[in-house]
Structure formats: C-alpha cells, structure tokens
Structure 1
Amino acid sequence: MASTQSRAVERMYRAWTENWKNPPPDPEPRETDDHWGDLTAEPRGVDYIEVDDGLWLVPRGSAADGAALLCLHGGGFISGSVFTHRKMYGHLAKAIGVPALIAHQRYAPEHPYPAQQEDALKAYTWLVGRGFDRIVVAGDSAGGGLAITSQLAGRARGLPLATALLLISPWVDMAVSGDSFDTNAAKDGFFYRDVVQGLAAMYIAGRDPRDPEVNPLYADLTGLPPMFIQVGGDETLLDESRMLEKRAGEFGVEVRRDVFEEQQHTFQMAAGRAPEADDAISRFASWVRPRLEL
C-alpha cells in the first residue's frame, strides 16, 4: 500500500486538474511557482549556486573529479523551473555524491521545439567545456524525454555522449498513443489523454508527433548511453515507458525499467518524506555510481 506521504503527490495532481479546468484569475508566474517543492524535504548538506545556464547543486563532500549530473526538469514544457525541482534533484545529487546542474528551460507555447532542446544542449556543453567527462543526464516527465532527444541532437553535432540516463516517468510519445491513458485514467491524478495532447500540441507546434526529433519512440537510438527508467504503476505514462524500453532494446541500448506499484507520475518529488521516493532515489544511486567510477 502506498504511504500517506506518497499520496500527497496524487492530491497535488488532482488539485492541478481543477486549476487546469478552472484557472485562477491571477495565477502565480511560472518562473516563481515553487509549490511543487513543498512535497520534498530539504536535502541537508547541499549548497545552491545560480549560474547563467541554471542552478548548480553541490553536495558537501561530493566528488570533484569530472563526474556530474545534468538535470532537466519536468512541467510539460510549459511550467516547472530550477526552483521547483531543486530539492528533488538535490536528494539525487547527494545520494550519488556528485554536483548537479539543473538547466534553465524556456517555456512553450511562446518558445516551442527546439527551444528546450537547445537549452539542454547549452547546459550540457557548459559542463563538457568545464572538464566534466562523466556526465549523467537525469530528467523527469517532459525532462525525461528531453534527456533522450537532446542526446540524439548532441550525437548529430559530434558531442560526446553521456555516461548514463536516469529517467523519471519519462514523457516521450508526442502522439499520446499508450494504452495506459485508458487503463490508468481513473488512477492517475492529472495526466489524462486530452491534457497531454494539449501539452504536446503546444510543444511541437504543428510538427508530426511521430517525428523522431521530438518522439524517441521513432528515433534511431543506436549508441545511446545505458538508461534506467522509473515509472509509477498508477500513472498514464506507464505504457510509453514500456514502449521506450522495447525501442531502446531493439537498438542494443542497455535498459533497466522499475515499476513502482500504486505510485503516481514523478512520485520521487516526495523525496525525504515518502519511503517509496527515497527507495527510488537510492536505486538510481546504486545503479549509476559504478558507471561513474565512484
């Protein structure tokens, strides 16, 4: 049974559903809306430094030998920020023992594709240029899909590939075709098919939703880094995580996918409060540390 703390994630998403249907007259600006972080306990021993490309998270005593995380936040490409996600990724950076950069992203619909991909590549290039040669790209929801598509774009430009990908409830299918949008519709607190279709339309701005540049399920994934996918058993994106696992495997990519029963989309946002979230963070750290030679 899901813990009381993890149920808070579901309550948050159901509240978002009401706001989506009936927007408040004076919504808080996207850049400063940090209420997502209310779910997450403050990770002790992590320092935050703002830089031009994002927010630098530095766990005290972290490795300074070329290993780092690049974190791409979720929010459907229309919301979220380095501040909404700083605590969750602070827990992840602390568990792994390396510094992390959460990248700034521009918002759709004002800035549709490829703006967010360019932002991710800019931050990745920033890390490479500072001598980080073992980079793990982590992303949640829209940021999970962006972790993959930005690596594909970087590969085309001759950039070195990341050491590994950590994908939290990755949203990868702009065609919104997964069966779990129907089978999990009553369990998921927010990510209904029509909502996700609307988010996809704002992001791709008229492109074919099956274009490989925006949809990794139709891309050539040859040579991509090992990926660890985590997904909640109650979320509507469950099926596309399975499709991503299958697609990556067809191209010889090493893939691990863990399904957390009775959990919602990006339940890891409850890190430090919910045992399920802490278990997920711990699994990521245990899997990736050997790949970073830590």
Structure 2
Amino acid sequence: MSMKTEMARIFAGLNKSDRKMALELEHPARGTAALDQERFTKRVRVKAWNVDGFPAFTINGSYTKAAHVLMLPGGAYTLEPSGRYREMAEHFAIEKQVRVTIPLCPLAPEYTALDAHRYLVRVYSFLAAEYPEDEFFLFGDFSGGGLALSLLQELRDTGNLPMPVRTAVVSPWLDIALSNPKIKIVKKSDPILPVEALKEAGVRYRGPLEPDHPFVSPLYGNWDHLGQILVFSGTEEILTPDCELLAEMAGKLQGTEIIYRKGARMIHDWILIPCKETDATLDLIFAFFLEEALGF
C-alpha cells in the first residue's frame, strides 16, 4: 500500500467520513454540475445528450478505438457524481483511446430503481444504434457497480440488444439490504461506509421492489451467460463479504467467468483517490477490456 492510500484511510477515519456520508445521503446535494460539458479538458470532444430529460455525456479522444465504455458512477444511488469521474473519463479517452459515455441516472429519493433501469436501457439502446461498430464494455463503482451488474442481467433477459463484451466493477453494492452477517465484523475496519444510512438509502432506491430483486440486488439474480466479469474490492470495506460470496459462485456458472481481485488494506472505492494503486487497478481493467494482459 502506498503512503497516499494509507493516509487516505487514516484521514477517512479521523474525519469521520462515514458520518459525513450519512448526512449527505439524508440531504443529497443537487445541481453540483461536476460533469457539465464546459468542465472537461479541451483535449477531448464531449457530446451532451439526454434521455427523458436526464443528461448523458459521450467523451472522445483524438484516436478513438471501436471500444466504448459505459461508465456508471457510484454514490449510493443517491449522490451526484464528483469531478473525479470526469477526470477518469478524460484519462480513458486520451490514454486508453476508447469512447466513454457517462449517463446521469435518476437518483433516489426522487426516483427509484425502476426509473434508473428504464433510463439505462434506453441509453444503451441509443448507443447501440448510434455507434453500431463499437464494442461495449460496462464499468461501474459502488452503486454504479451494482447497477452495471443488474443491467447486465437485464440485457441478457431481454435479448434484443448486443451484450457488453466484458464488465468490470469496483466495490460493487451487490445486496441492497446489506444482509450479510459478516458485514457487522468488517464494518469495524471500514472508515467510509455508514451501514444504517446505506440501508435507509437502499429502501428509498428500491421503491416497490423486494430487497432481493435483481434490479437492486444483483447478487440474487441469475448469473449465467453474462460473459467475463472482473470484480475488485478491498479488505477494509463492508461490501467485500458479498463480493466473496459472488466469487464462491463462480465455478457453478454457465457462460459466465468471474475474476475476483481483493486489495489488501484497500478502502472502499479506492479508484476515487489518485494514487499508484488506482493507476494499477485502472490499467488492469483496460488490459482486461482490451485483452492486453496475460492472466485474463
């Protein structure tokens, strides 16, 4: 672990990051505009568009491959994405030479999972029609990771759209109810995620759906025929017990390959911290997407 990552873990505890997130979830900010078009670097071209009044941004670099990443930001299905997602999208477009689309999904408590899924399917349908030559990849962190895996299951079930080639998720929220008994043990070492506040946010997000519905808890869905999925989580976060359950299922699945990487001493969603571990994780993800590394 780098000094920067260790300091981030220590400061998260000292600054009571879990309490801060609990307050943010109770009173989520709106209109933060961190992904507004004019905030992107001039080194990329950004196309702003919308579906049903909800915006999306497609980012291109100078030499774009026929590879298209649908990036789903985290935020407990409630919080607007920070500027860090803009920075990552710029990096992907410029350095990895892929096209990136970031949809700003309907958020709780104003909307529910049904609204988010309806929106995302329409977004994906638009992209498939607009960029017919592109291969699509799903990438999400935290709640965006859970949403990516839920969407993947939905796309397989509907069967009328091309399946993403590969999917990568970091610290995915797999069970909206956080019912795994091991979470009580792990939460002692998680300085960021507030369990009870997340459970309440989960209730607001799932709306009329049962807590085990795959739209909100992909862990309980059908995992067959989803292709290759790369999953990361850290030892210092409450979402890891469910990631471990998913990894245990891997050998029993048909048409799905799950590759699980657990980061020792890594905190929740460390890719939001610019550090060498983040660089290494993102490099692994794109090697996985573009088949550029041994071991995948």
With the length of structure 1 as denominator, give the TM-score of the two structures.
Answer: 0.84
Could you tell me which residue of structure 2 aligns to residue 127 of structure 1? 127
Residue aligned with 1:184, SS: helix
- Asked if the contact 2:25/2:197 (under 8 Å) is kept, the reply is no
- Asked if the contact 2:21/2:192 (under 8 Å) is kept, the reply is no
Residue aligned with 2:242, SS: helix
CA 1:45/1:242 → structure 2, altered by over 3 Å: closer, same or farther? farther
- The structure with the largest strand share of the pair is 2
- Give me the whole-angstrom Cα distance separating, in 2, the residues matched to 1:5 and 1:129: 41
- Give me the whole-angstrom Cα distance separating, in 1, the residues matched to 2:91 and 2:182: 29
From 172, 178, 183, the counterpart of 2:180: 178
- Give me the whole-angstrom Cα distance separating, in 2, the residues matched to 1:3 and 1:87: 22
| Structure 1 residues not aligned, in runs of 5+ | 36-41
Could you tell me which residue of structure 1 aligns to residue 145 of structure 2? 144
Could you tell me which residue of structure 2 aligns to residue 38 of structure 1? none
1:94-109 alignment, distance < 5 Å = 94-109=94-109
Instruction: Establish whether residue 238 from structure 1 lines up as the match of residue 240 from structure 2.
Output: yes
CA 1:92/1:10 → structure 2, altered by over 3 Å: closer, same or farther? farther
- Give me the whole-angstrom Cα distance separating, in 1, the residues matched to 2:170 and 2:189: 18
CA 1:75/1:109 → structure 2, altered by over 3 Å: closer, same or farther? same
- Give me the whole-angstrom Cα distance separating, in 2, the residues matched to 1:44 and 1:181: 44
CA 1:21/1:77 → structure 2, altered by over 3 Å: closer, same or farther? closer
Could you tell me which residue of structure 2 aligns to residue 264 of structure 1? 267
- Asked if the contact 1:88/1:268 (under 8 Å) is kept, the reply is no
From 54, 57, 60, the counterpart of 1:58: 60
Larger mean CA deviation between 46-55 and 207-216 belongs to 46-55
The CA deviation string for residues 158-188 of structure 1, in whole angstroms up to 9 with x for no partner, is 2221101010111111231234422221221
Q: How many residues align?
A: 280
- Asked if the contact 2:63/2:97 (under 8 Å) is kept, the reply is yes
Could you tell me which residue of structure 2 aligns to residue 223 of structure 1? 225
Q: Which amino acid aligns with 2:56?
A: G
Larger mean CA deviation between 274-283 and 76-85 belongs to 76-85
Instruction: Establish whether residue 48 from structure 1 lines up as the match of residue 46 from structure 2.
Output: yes
Residue aligned with 2:262, SS: strand
CA 1:124/1:9 → structure 2, altered by over 3 Å: closer, same or farther? farther
Larger mean CA deviation between 143-152 and 80-89 belongs to 80-89
With the length of structure 2 as denominator, give the TM-score of the two structures.
Answer: 0.83
CA 1:247/1:28 → structure 2, altered by over 3 Å: closer, same or farther? closer
Residue aligned with 1:199, SS: helix
Residue aligned with 1:254, SS: strand
- Asked if the contact 1:59/1:94 (under 8 Å) is kept, the reply is yes
CA 1:236/1:33 → structure 2, altered by over 3 Å: closer, same or farther? farther
Residue aligned with 1:101, SS: strand
The CA deviation string for residues 14-62 of structure 1, in whole angstroms up to 9 with x for no partner, is 554333555699x783331649xxxxxx989444332224112223322
- Asked if the contact 2:236/2:265 (under 8 Å) is kept, the reply is yes
Could you tell me which residue of structure 2 aligns to residue 209 of structure 1? 211
- Asked if the contact 1:68/1:132 (under 8 Å) is kept, the reply is no
- Give me the whole-angstrom Cα distance separating, in 1, the residues matched to 2:286 and 2:25: 39
- CA RMSD between the two structures: 2.9
Could you tell me which residue of structure 2 aligns to residue 116 of structure 1? 116
- Asked if the contact 2:73/2:140 (under 8 Å) is kept, the reply is yes
Larger mean CA deviation between 93-102 and 137-146 belongs to 93-102
| C-alpha deviation, 1:249, in angstroms | 4.0
Residue aligned with 1:146, SS: helix
| C-alpha deviation, 1:10, in angstroms | 6.3
The CA deviation string for residues 91-112 of structure 1, in whole angstroms up to 9 with x for no partner, is 3444532110001111111101
Instruction: Establish whether residue 90 from structure 1 lines up as the match of residue 107 from structure 2.
Output: no
| C-alpha deviation, 1:71, in angstroms | 0.7
- Give me the whole-angstrom Cα distance separating, in 2, the residues matched to 1:139 and 1:208: 23
The CA deviation string for residues 46-97 of structure 1, in whole angstroms up to 9 with x for no partner, is 443322241122233221x3x2010111111111237552212333444532
CA 1:117/1:20 → structure 2, altered by over 3 Å: closer, same or farther? same
Could you tell me which residue of structure 1 aligns to residue 81 of structure 2? 81
